[in-house]
Structure 1
Amino acid sequence: MGIGDAQVSAEDLETVTQQLGRTPRGTRAIASRCPSGHPNVVQTDPRLPDGTPFPTLYYLTCPKLNSLVSTLESGGLMKEQTERLATDEELAAAYLRAHESYLAERDAIESLGTQVTAGGMPGRVKCLHVHVAHALAKGPGVNPMGDEALALLKAQELWPAGDCAETAAG
């Protein structure tokens, strides 16, 4: 599934509400699903229903994945990634392309009149959750920071596993 999901079902909205512990705002689409089939990333409108600008186009909703990404953040991954941006020209160029792609996609929905995207792009890594959400929504090769975080979780056999990988029918 993914961004092609034109309609967000009532069941999906209820799942996301349970995941977040609150009613989601500005949900446009389910951008990615865990192997079990439940949403793990939503695509949001560039403006919330009350008109507030919301530059975060992709929002991570899966509680298990959120927790695992928080562990990577607290372990210093964002600092290490930001430091590499200053010395690795190829990584910095790929990260700039991720920023430009994110901005173009959001602006195609509605321009906020700003070059601010999300997660610190393109100069630093500020929120790994945003990068993981972007990587899951767009697939490998678009957001190098999100791809790296997902690869670390998979290498450590932390995700997908457990509740996220349970069959929805089970």
Structure 2
Amino acid sequence: MIDERDEAAVAAQLGREPRGIRRVAYRCPCGLPAVIETAPRLPDGTPFPTLFYLTCPKAASAIGTLEGGGVMREMQARLATEPALKAEYTAAHEDYLRRRDEAAAEDGIEPLPAGMQSAGGMPERVKCLHALIGHELAVPGTNPIGREALEALPEWWRSGPCVCVPDDSGPGDSAPASTPRTEEPS
């Protein structure tokens, strides 16, 4: 489950109320949620294949800049020429599907149909670095493309939290969720 403060931070990050949150899967070094784990089905039963959803707008912006630089085309080309990378990426896809099915079982909901996409284009394409980095942040060492892309990003958290969330001092007050830290993301 997710606590009210984290849910408020995610809502501020997304600019809307989040749906189907299971937990915070990765915290930014600033202390706020950066990746959430979502249920494989929304509360109304609609399939939602993105298990790990990147919420931090600063990270998302940095990833968008990286995508705009053409890195996805290069990564896609490497999948065709580097068998070891292709095998690791396929294993990441299988990990994602397994974790999504486990989440459905834990929640007592129907799993998504066999053959439904995982995320980010896996296992054949490099389509969305946001999803691939989200997977790598949530499960470090699992997604080779997400890991490479993550390593190419600037330290987006250095300037402080991406949003402010209300503190406990009273109505109308807001403060950063935490003091920025300087360590590398794990």
User: TM-score normalized by structure 1?
Assistant: 0.89
* Greater RCO (Cα-Cα under 8 Å, separation 6 or more): 2
2:159 to 139, 158, 162: 162
Tell me if the contact between 2:161 and 2:178 (Cα under 8 Å) persists in the aligned partners: no
Alpha-carbon distance between aligned partners in 2 of 1:163 and 1:99, rounded to the nearest angstrom: 33
Q: Which amino acid aligns with 1:83?
A: A
Greater Rg, structure 1 or structure 2?
2
Distance 2:7 2:71 in 1: 31
Deviation at 1:12, TM superposition (A): 0.4
Cα distance in structure 2, aligned partners of 1:107 and 1:64: 30
Once the two structures are TM-superposed, the CA of residue 160 in structure 1 deviates from its matched residue by: 3.7
The verdict on how the C-alpha distance between 1:169 and 1:81 changes in structure 2, with shifts beyond 3 A counting, is: closer
Give the letter for the 1:93 counterpart: A
Q: Which runs of 5+ in 1 are unaligned?
A: 1-6
Unaligned ranges ≥5, structure 2: 105-110, 163-175, 181-186
RMSD over equivalenced CA pairs, Å: 1.6
- Quote the Cα distance in structure 2 between the aligned partners of 1:164 and 1:134: 21
C-alpha distance in 1, partners of 2:123/2:60?
A: 22
Q: 1:27 aligns with which of 21, 24, 27?
A: 21
TM superposition shift of 1:132: 0.6
| Aligned: 1:122 with 2:119 | no
Equivalent position of 2:172 in the other structure = none
Cα gap change, 1:167/1:14 in structure 2, threshold over 3 Å: closer, same or farther? closer
In structure 1, what is the Cα distance between the partners aligned to 2:159 and 2:20? 29
Structure 2 residue aligned with 1:59? 53
CA deviations over 1:85-121 (Å, ceiling 9, x no partner)? 0000000000000000000110112220123211100
- Give 2:142's aligned amino acid: V
**Partner of residue 4, structure 1:** none
State the partner residue of 1:3.
Answer: none
Q: 3-state SS of the aligned residue for 2:23?
A: strand
Measured in 1, the distance between the counterparts of 2:32 and 2:20 equals 18
Mapping of 1:81-92 within 5 angstroms?
81-92=75-86
3-state secondary structure, aligned to 2:18: coil
Instruction: Tell me by how many angstroms 1:164 deviates.
Output: 3.9
Residue 105 (structure 1) aligned to one of 66, 82, 99 = 99
Aligned partners of 2:82 and 2:65: how far apart in 1?
Answer: 24
Q: Distance in 1 between matches of 2:21 and 2:72?
A: 27
Counterpart residue number, 1:150: 150
2:37 pairs with 1:43: yes
Whole-Å separation in 2 of the counterparts to 1:91 and 1:169: 38
* Aligned AA (2:126): V
Whole-angstrom CA distance in 1 between matches of 2:21 and 2:150: 23
Q: Distance in 2 between matches of 1:167 and 1:106?
A: 29
Distance in 1 (CA, whole Å) between partners of 2:37 and 2:131 is 11
CA distance in 2, matches of 1:167, 1:22: 18
